[in-house]
A = this chain, B = another copy of it.
Amino acid sequence: MAQARGNTRQRIQSVALELFAEQGYEKTSLREIAERLDVTKAALYYHFKTKEDILIGIFQDLTAPMDELIAWAGRQPRTLETKQEILRRYQVNLIAAAPLFRFMQDNHAVVSKLSVGLTFKERMLTLNDLIQEPGSSLTDKARCISAIFTLHAGTFFMANVEGDPEDKRKAVLEVALDLVEQAQKGH
């Protein structure tokens, strides 16, 4: 019976993220979450004030690493090597918080209305800024944006390509690294 005690809050977040990622935020009801946990809806309200609060909690927990990444990046010299290291670390984040990112990709409309969501978009732009060279050409700017999205797309859409997951991860990373290198050279 009793799952380890006192972790209900985390169990809620975990099940919620799973369902949000799978079905979307709007489509997922508290009843569903409660049922999957074998708990009453009212119990959810003991731990979170609203449905959105559950989402916010998930965000805060899972985006912390990204904030650290940004903070760290801000302290480094703006060399090519730094930029590439940013991409490497970003890909690690992406994979670690895969369900969250999948969810964000699929529920952009909802997320963007969250206060947390805005913060997130800003974070992505910040990241992008750290990779770009201030006065670079539009083409090189597009390369940088493309590099970030290659990591995203690669993580979620290479699923349809055959091959060892680890090899695919490396291939995707390589393409992204190439793109910033070209952007840097163009400069």
Task: Scan residues 150-168 of chain A and give those whose CB is less than 8 A from a CB of chain B.
Answer: 150, 152-154, 157-158, 160-161, 163, 167-168
Q: In the assembly, what is the distance between CA of A171 and CA of B141, in Å? A: 8
Is A11 interfacial (CB 8 A cutoff)? no
Q: In the assembly, what is the distance between CA of A175 and CA of B26, in Å? A: 36
Number of interface residues of A (CB under 8 A): 42
A-side interface mostly: helix
User: Within 8 Å CB of A178, what residues of B?
Assistant: 182
Is A105 interfacial (CB 8 A cutoff)? yes
Q: In the assembly, what is the distance between CA of A138 and CA of B170, in Å? A: 9
Is A174 interfacial (CB 8 A cutoff)? yes
Tell whether, in the assembled complex, residue B145 and residue A154 are in contact, meaning their CB atoms are under 8 Å apart: yes
User: Which residue of B106, B145, B172, B175 is within 8 Å of A157 (Cβ)?
Assistant: B145
Q: How many chain copies?
A: 4
Task: Scan residues 121-151 of chain A and give those whose CB is less than 8 A from a CB of chain B.
Answer: 125, 137-139, 141-143, 145-146, 149-150
Tell whether, in the assembled complex, residue A142 and residue B171 are in contact, meaning their CB atoms are under 8 Å apart: yes
Tell whether, in the assembled complex, residue B24 and residue A109 are in contact, meaning their CB atoms are under 8 Å apart: yes
Is A85 interfacial (CB 8 A cutoff)? no
Residues on A facing B (Cβ under 8 Å): 21-24, 26-27, 105-110, 125, 137-139, 141-143, 145-146, 149-150, 152-154, 157-158, 160-161, 163, 167-168, 170-172, 174-176, 178-179, 182
A-B contact pairs, 9 of them (CB 8 A): A24-B110, A27-B109, A125-B160, A139-B175, A141-B161, A146-B150, A146-B153, A149-B150, A153-B153
